[in-house]
């Protein structure tokens, strides 16, 4: 099992280009299945989850290659509709292929998805919405079978919660369907807008992405295109957290500040100096950090749940008491016990965490249990006194391109070994 060995206490300085967004690349790869001919996704991050998505495309008969952050697909022979259990279990986002496969072939067979354990994340909304589009769905022994006897037909769908995955699945299924589909209470995340922009570039007709109501007018077919994956706002938040943890001063290049206003506002409340331009963010954390009154994770444009753990790691040494309320997932404090091993003073009760800032953290042997919690341990280790060993690196690799190299380029001492 690979581990990260990190010698903390090195102040991070310099500039770094932010990778393409994991949470956008995965639905975009599913969307490639709908486009006839060749499609090229540039700025696609080299992540284990992205590799898993490419394997799903290959299993479905799509030719898929990955070189130099460019994924190229050719759907000329993509007639498959079954996704194996093994591939479905590799990541949670695999469920987004359900809408894409249905949109291409009119049928789909797959199992329940895997991914990080963050508490119950039912796909009921996905299934209910697709049924409204005319899909017949049966479940037996963990396998889900879907057919569209009359094709995908437009409908008005009211989501009980603005689920990103359900919104994306509806868009993928309906973009080549018949008639108009309206999604009410749709997710507003930038990744949803990115998917809509991609599908429209391919010839789709989707309006309102980024708002609570999305309208999809079905088209007969999509064609391949070249498209750049949006920057990863959670990776940006991770680098900002590391700068705060180490008292550093860094510039993030190729990032959209508007996508993470809720995060930059928290760092400003902590006492960091944050400057934004059209495609970069500069953060300086030369002064001691202050606690923040309350962080509540919420759907976009609220504070993102994926940034909760990394920001908590930087708050561990902020002066005063901070409170975090996790309103999206039930089990998203699995990193807390590991931070406590490093000297943090954090108490949790249900969905609430109270962080009492300590003077410093200390190096320790810690274990990542999921993606963002693992990144939080790296952030804490970078600012801690002494050497830390972070195990469970396979989780971190699901969302970050060679995270140790990124931080080493900013002056950290971090190596990977087995």
Q: Which residues are catalytic?
A: 116
Element holding 58 (H helix, E strand): helix 48-59
Ligand-binding annotation for 328, yes or no, is yes
How many Å apart are CA 185 and CA 157, to the nearest integer? 9
- Given a contact cutoff of 8 angstroms between Cβ atoms, the answer to whether 389 and 325 are in contact is no
Cα–Cα dist 134/43, whole Å: 36
Structure tokens at 122: 């039912």
Separation between Cα atoms, residue 175 and residue 207, nearest integer Å: 11
Which residue, chain included where needed, has tokens 């089990």?
331
Q: Is residue 121 within 8 Å of residue 329, measured between CB atoms?
A: yes
DSSP notation for 356-377 = E--S--B--EEE--SHHHHHHH
Q: Are 304 and 327 in contact (CB under 8 A)?
A: no
Burial of 359 (0-12, 13-18, 19+ CB in 10 A): exposed
Minimal CA–CA distance to 403: which of 254, 280, 241? 241
Close Cβ partners of 140 (under 8 Å, ≥ 6 residues apart): none
Instruction: Flag whether 185 is marked binding.
Output: no
Instruction: State the SS3 of 33-49.
Output: CCEECEEEEECCCCCHH
DSSP string, 172-213: HHHTTSBSEEEEES----HHHHHHHHHHHHTT--EE-BTBSE
Tokens representing residue 382 in the block: 């970078």
Which residue in 72, 41, 78, 32 sits closest to 59, CA to CA? Answer: 78
* DSSP one-letter code for 50: H
Which position has the token pair 């990144």? 375
Strands 206-207 and 213-217, sheet pairing: antiparallel
Tokens for 417, please give them: 């070994």
138 C-beta neighbours (distance < 10 Å), count: 9
* 306 appears as a binding residue in the annotation: yes
Residues annotated within a binding site for phosphoenolpyruvate? 22-23
Residues annotated within a binding site for UDP-N-acetyl-alpha-D-glucosamine? 92, 306, 328
Residues annotated within a binding site? 22-23, 92, 306, 328
């Amino acid at each position: 099992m690979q581990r990260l060995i990190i010698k903390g206490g090195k102040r991070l300085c310099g500039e770094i280009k932010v990778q393409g967004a994991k949470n956008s690349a995965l639905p975009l790869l599913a969307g490639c299945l709908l486009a006839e001919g060749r499609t090229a996704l540039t700025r696609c991050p080299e992540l284990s989850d992205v590799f898993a998505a490419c394997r799903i495309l290959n299993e479905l008969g799509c030719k898929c290659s990955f070189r130099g952050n460019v994924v190229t697909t050719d759907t000329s022979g993509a007639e498959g509709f079954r996704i194996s259990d093994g591939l479905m279990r590799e990541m949670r986002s695999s469920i987004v292929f359900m809408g894409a496969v249905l949109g291409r072939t009119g049928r789909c067979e797959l199992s329940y998805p895997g991914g990080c354990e963050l508490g119950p994340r039912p796909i009921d909304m996905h299934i209910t919405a697709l049924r409204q589009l005319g899909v017949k769905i049966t479940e037996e022994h963990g396998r889900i079978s879907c057919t569209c006897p009359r094709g995908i037909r437009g409908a008005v769908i009211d989501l009980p919660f603005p689920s990103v995955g359900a919104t994306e699945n509806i868009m993928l299924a309906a973009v080549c369907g018949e008639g108009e589909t309206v999604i009410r209470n749709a997710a507003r995340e930038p990744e949803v807008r990115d998917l809509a922009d991609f599908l429209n570039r391919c010839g789709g007709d989707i309006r309102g992405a980024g708002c609570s109501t999305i309208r999809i007018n079905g088209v007969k077919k999509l064609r391949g295109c070249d498209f750049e994956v949006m920057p990863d706002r959670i990776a940006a938040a991770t680098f900002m957290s590391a700068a705060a943890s180490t008292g550093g001063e860094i510039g993030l290049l190729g990032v959209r500040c508007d996508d993470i206003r809720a995060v930059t506002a928290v760092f400003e409340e902590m006492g960091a100096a944050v400057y934004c331009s059209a495609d970069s963010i500069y953060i300086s954390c030369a002064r001691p950090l202050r606690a923040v009154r309350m962080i509540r994770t919420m759907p976009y444009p609220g504070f993102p749940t994926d940034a909760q753990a990394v920001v908590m790691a930087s708050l561990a040494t902020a002066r005063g008491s901070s409170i975090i309320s996790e309103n999206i997932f039930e089990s998203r404090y699995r990193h807390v016990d590991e931070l406590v091993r490093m000297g943090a003073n954090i108490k949790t009760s249900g969905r609430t965490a109270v962080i009492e800032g300590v003077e410093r953290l200390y190096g320790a042997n810690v274990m990542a249990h999921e993606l963002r919690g693992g990144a939080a341990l790296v952030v804490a280790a970078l600012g801690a006194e002494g050497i830390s060993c972070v195990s469970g690196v396979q989780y971190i690799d699901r969302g970050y391109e060679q995270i140790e190299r990124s931080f080493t380029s900013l002056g950290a001492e971090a190596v990977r070994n087995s």
